[in-house]
């Protein structure tokens, strides 16, 4: 089993970053033909999904989730003065945690004949929900012999 930490600098409060090519490069670099890649987001305000990387759809996704879980709502997690032991720069980001719960933080990706087993329009997307920030995705390659 091999491990790798993918580093991603996100650029907006809510955005999708396509990491498909990064994962495929890792597969290629290890000459992996068959197996499984497990991807796990290392943050509670990001998600990992498989979907189409089309800009208008990505905008629809952002608008959908921000309407469903509005950032400006009076979430208890955002009452920073009532929480203990928090850093001075703690963000009001309850909405990001809640959206991350709905989307999930890990994926199991099959590798077949040296390629990710994705459909024609599928991409692996890191969904930033509280950016911009430096983010990490832990990748575990499980090679079949």
Tens digit of each residue's pLDDT (9 = 90 or more) over 79-93: 999 999 999 889 999
Copy the structure tokens of residue 10: 């996100």
User: In this predicted structure, what is the pLDDT of residue 88?
Assistant: 86
Q: Which helix (H) or strand (E) holds 9?
A: strand 2-9
What are the sequence ranges of the domains in the chain? 2-73+93-143
User: In this predicted structure, what is the pLDDT of residue 145?
Assistant: 64
Between CA 5 and CA 76 the distance in angstroms is: 33
**pTM confidence score:** 0.95
* Domain 2-73+93-143 part of CATH 3.40.50.150: no
User: In this predicted structure, what is the pLDDT of residue 97?
Assistant: 99
Question: What are the residue ranges in the chain where pLDDT is below 50?
Answer: none
User: In this predicted structure, what is the pLDDT of residue 144?
Assistant: 87
Which residue has tokens 């495929």?
24
User: In this predicted structure, what is the pLDDT of residue 13?
Assistant: 98
User: In this predicted structure, what is the pLDDT of residue 103?
Assistant: 99
Between CA 92 and CA 87 the distance in angstroms is: 12
């Amino acid at each position: 089993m091999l491990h790798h930490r993918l580093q991603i600098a996100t650029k907006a409060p809510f955005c999708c970053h396509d990491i498909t090519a990064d994962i495929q490069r890792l597969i290629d670099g290890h000459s992996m033909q068959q197996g499984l890649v497990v991807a796990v987001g290392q943050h509670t305000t990001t998600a990992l999904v498989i979907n189409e990387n089309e800009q208008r759809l990505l905008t629809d996704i952002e608008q959908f989730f921000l309407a469903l879980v509005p950032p400006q709502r009076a979430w208890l997690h955002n009452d920073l003065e009532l929480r203990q032991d928090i850093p001075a720069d703690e963000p009001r980001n309850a909405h990001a945690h809640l959206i991350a719960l709905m989307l999930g933080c890990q994926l199991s990706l099959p590798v077949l004949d040296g390629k990710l087993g994705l459909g024609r329009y599928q991409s692996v997307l890191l969904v930033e929900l509280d950016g911009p920030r430096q983010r990490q995705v832990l990748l575990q390659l499980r090679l079949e012999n």
